[in-house]
Amino acid sequence: MDRVPALEEPLKKLLGGPTAKVMAEHLDLHTVGDLLHHYPRRYEERGQLTKLAELPLDEDVTVVAQVADARVHTFNGGRGQRLEITITDGSGRLQLVFFGRGIHKPHKELLPGSRAMFAGKVSMFNRRMQLAHPTYAKLGADAAEGDDTVDIDSWAGALIPIYPACKGLESWKIAKAVDAVLPSAQEAVDPLPEALRDGRGFVSLPEALLKVHRPHSKADIEDARQRLKWDEAFVLQVALARRRHADGQLPAVARRPAPSGLLDAFDAKLPFTLTEGQQKVSKEIFDDLATEHPMHRLLQGEVGSGKTMVALRAMLAVVDSGGQAAMLAPTEVLAQQHHRSITEMMGELAEGGMLGGSDLGTKVVLLTGSMGMPARRQALLDLVTGEAGVVIGTHALIEDKVQFHDLGLVVVDEQHRFGVEQRDALRGKGKQPPHLLVMTATPIPRTVAMTVFGDLETSVLDQLPAGRSPIASHVVPAQDKPHFLARAWERVREEVDKGHQAYVVCPRIGDAADEADDPKSAKGKKKAEEAETADKRPPLAVIEIADQLSRGPLQGLRAEILHGRMQPDDKDDVMRRFGAGEVDVLVATTVIEVGVNVPNATAMVIMDADRFGVSQLHQLRGRVGRGSAPGLCLLVTDMPEASAARARLNAVASTLDGFELSRIDLEQRREGDVLGQAQSGVRSSLRMLTVIDDEEVIAAAREEAAAVVAEDPDLEHLPGLRTALDALLDKDREQYLDKG
């Protein structure tokens, strides 16, 4: 039987079942290689202790500190006992609390003057920070032999690695496990080509692993980090470069607009001039469409920058060339909205073959899951015969029954809402691979685009069309200043009095089918538990808020509700009447987040704004200020002023620049969220690289990767790189990259 390579050895063989089980379940670590790539989050220096004054609330922390004093208190008439220990690091003090029988061991071991590492969750009690029942390990001379001690001198130098830990497996226990597997680092296969490694002066991979886990100096840490960041950036960029290279070999039909055809006729009837940005981006797209390889382009632009117009012109160019174009929208509301606005913009050009339609025109059809059978049958017939040049639809477009005559272009709106399989299924409906245009209104910093969408060319629309109005945004602290909330409703009334309309957005629907409300459902149970522990009420709901507003501050105004569980005809009816000005206030969920365009709506109040992400708030805000009157967006929250949630809302209120906001969003979230979401939900492969801070590394790795792949597309001469690529591209990621 073949020997298992050292780095693929299962952890349970080396560490024992219980430890390996916790590592697998909570940290997703299964092999020796996984553990070697579980890097310290930071390093403590003996003599330079953590600043206790800066500990984050509600987070699991590991601190090194000295015991200042310890006292036992009794309560319940002497029946209960509580041990309170104060620890200090010179910058601040922190209370440790132990109850009941759990007080005896720490009372005996944690004597004033002793030093230890402590791990636990930071909570607040009586306005003081505390760790309740923390685990601890005594340090250095204070340590006696045993499990809960750290022999600090056996660790190199004065730097103590602090690992990302979990309940039941503290940082020091992970450190001991790393000690057990560290000798295997010598067998790590180096993914970097030798010339690249020597050219950039990097240490070898075994040396980098040794230095990152057991550094003797800060220079060791720096050497290791530079090297390990490069590994991650380079291997990912090689995967994307191979994908670009493979796409470049695929055939596609070149699609060039016919002179004096449908596109020219459409342009001639536009009542405005395209912005410079729209013209530039259109040229990039038309150049791609004219090639005999499939276009793969990401079009990102601010909310309201005119992406739909650019996409429509690309679709008409393809129809001009004899092909068909499909636009995939994430929700029925958005698909209907796109269909309505596109047919309005095209006028008689959208009525090809119909009475009164233009000779140059084509049919524009809508296909959604809830359409009636006759309409659906007709739409399917129009697609298969080629009668319809343009189709706009939801996931219904992906079904097996849907056949195209000659699909030439797929436009995916709001890319992050679609799974890889769904995009792939639509692209598979062309006789040859169709061109692909992906649109998003959530601006992505360049580094993220290079890391996550490195296989797509990127176009950016950062100019707003003329006539768009500024939007003022303010945070409304409802808990601290209730009169601010009262004033918010007055502002809504004032806007309606001027003849305008308003949105009120809530995080939840609040109907009987709302699973998150149902205490019997798994989601409901989890929500209730979370609410109880966080002392937080459930999120506000559309149905309740609409009722309160109609009977209270907005009494007399014409208010309607809109949410995703309404019947499609009812949704469409509400949106149509809101668009026609027959509804003053629309109380809705985030179903209005993308694509809804009502220029007369000038005010938006977002309830429980802290429960939405930065990009979602930016998207929602983009629904107002779409006409000539200025927009107003009020972010209502109960969160206290010092909280991270308030900082996030202040950031949204302070800028309308989506690229700036996406950068703030990234800095506040963990990296894996970003890459995990884009990579089909799989665990992020990035442990050392941070896409915001390591822009230069990513850009340089991209260049090196392109050169390597151009010279050796199958990596025949680079077995180490091929091995690393196989490890990065487990089955899920392989499919993700194959399907794009």
Q: How far apart are CA 708 and CA 706, in angstroms?
A: 6
Letter for the amino acid at 604?
Answer: M
Beta strands in 7-79 (DSSP E): 42-45, 60-75
Contact residues for 491 (Cβ-Cβ < 8 A; gap 6+): 603, 632, 634
Across 694-705, average pLDDT: 88
pLDDT at 497: 96
- Measured distance CA(462)–CA(303) in Å, rounded: 9
Q: What is the reported pLDDT for 4? A: 53
Partners of 561 in beta bridges: 587
- At 73-90, the pLDDT tens digits run 888 777 888 899 999 887
Backbone angles phi, psi at 604, to 5 degrees: -140, 130
Q: Beta partners for 413? A: 439
C-beta separation of 497 from 314 below 8 A = no
Give the pair of three-digit tokens for residue 12.
Answer: 């349970």
- Tell which residue, 188, 187, 253, 197, has the closest CA to residue 223: 197
User: Which amino acid would we find at residue 703?
Assistant: E
Beta bridge partners of 67: 87
Q: What is the pLDDT of residues 108-144, one digit of tens each?
A: 889 998 888 888 888 888 778 888 888 888 876 555 5
What's the full length of the chain, in residues? Answer: 740
Res 523: pLDDT: 53
Q: What is the pLDDT of residues 12-36, one digit of tens each?
A: 888 888 888 989 888 888 889 889 9
User: 547 CB contacts (<8 Å, ≥6 apart)?
Assistant: none
- pTM, 2 dp: 0.67
Closest by CA to 655, choosing from 646, 642, 645, 664, is: 664
| Mean pLDDT of all residues in 276-299 | 92
Mean pLDDT confidence for 282-292: 95
Which residues make beta-bridge pairs with 579? none
Cβ neighbors of 506 (< 8 A, separation 6 or more) are 539, 540, 541, 542, 545, 587, 588, 589, 607, 608
Residue 392 forms beta bridges with which residues? 327, 366
Q: Is the pLDDT reported for residue 526 higher than 60?
A: no
